[in-house]
Amino acid sequence: MTENWTAFVRGHRRTGSDVQFIERTRQDAQQSMGKELQKLILTAPTSQQDLARTELAGFEQLFGRYLQETGPSVLWDKIKLLPEGGHLNRTHGTDVPLVLMNSFNTDEDTLKVLQRYGKLQLQIHTFNQSRYPRINRESLLPIGNSFTSDNTESWYPPGHGDVYQSLVNSGLLKQFLDSGKKYVFISNIDNLGATVDLNILNFLMEQEQPPEFVMEVTDKTRADVKGGTLVEYEGKLRLLEIAQVPKEHVDEFKSVSKFKIFNTNNLWISLDAIKRVTDDQSLHMEIIVNPKTLDNGVNVIQLETAVGAAIKSFEGAMGINVPRRRFLPVKTTSDLLIVMSNLYSLHTGALQMNPKRSFPQGPLVKLGSHFSKVKDYLSRFSSIPDMLELDHLTVSGDVTFGKNVSLKGTVIIIANHGDRIDIPAGALLENKIVSGNLRILDH
Distance, CA of 367 to CA of 413 (rounded, Å): 10
Residues in the chain: 443
> What does each C-alpha distance from 283 to 210, 276, 307 come to in angstroms?
19, 9, 11
Nearest to 417 by CA among 435, 431, 402: 435
Distance, CA of 437 to CA of 43 (rounded, Å): 59
- Sign (positive or negative) of CA dihedral 61, 62, 66, 68: positive
Nearest to 165 by CA among 69, 82, 281: 281
- Sign (positive or negative) of CA dihedral 134, 138, 140, 145: negative
Q: Contact, 354 vs 214, CB < 8 A?
A: no
- The DSSP call for residue 310 is G
β-pairing, 236-240 vs 229-233, is: antiparallel
- The DSSP call for residue 198 is H
Strand partners, 422: 400
The response to whether 160 counts as a known ligand-binding position is yes
What phi and psi, each to the nearest 5 degrees, are found at residue 236?
Answer: -130, 155
> What does each C-alpha distance from 228 to 72, 182, 288, 310, 318 come to in angstroms?
16, 27, 13, 13, 15
Nearest to 301 by CA among 137, 66, 60, 59: 137
What does R_g of the chain's alpha carbons equal in angstroms? Answer: 25
Distance, CA of 66 to CA of 164 (rounded, Å): 19
Classify 302 as helix, strand or coil.
strand
Catalytic residues, by residue number, are 331
What phi and psi, each to the nearest 5 degrees, are found at residue 363?
Answer: -75, 165
Distance, CA of 55 to CA of 170 (rounded, Å): 11
Q: Contact, 225 vs 238, CB < 8 A?
A: no
Nearest to 337 by CA among 294, 371, 314: 371
Nearest to 145 by CA among 13, 35, 66, 234: 35
Distance, CA of 174 to CA of 249 (rounded, Å): 43
Which residues participate in the annotated binding site for substrate? 160
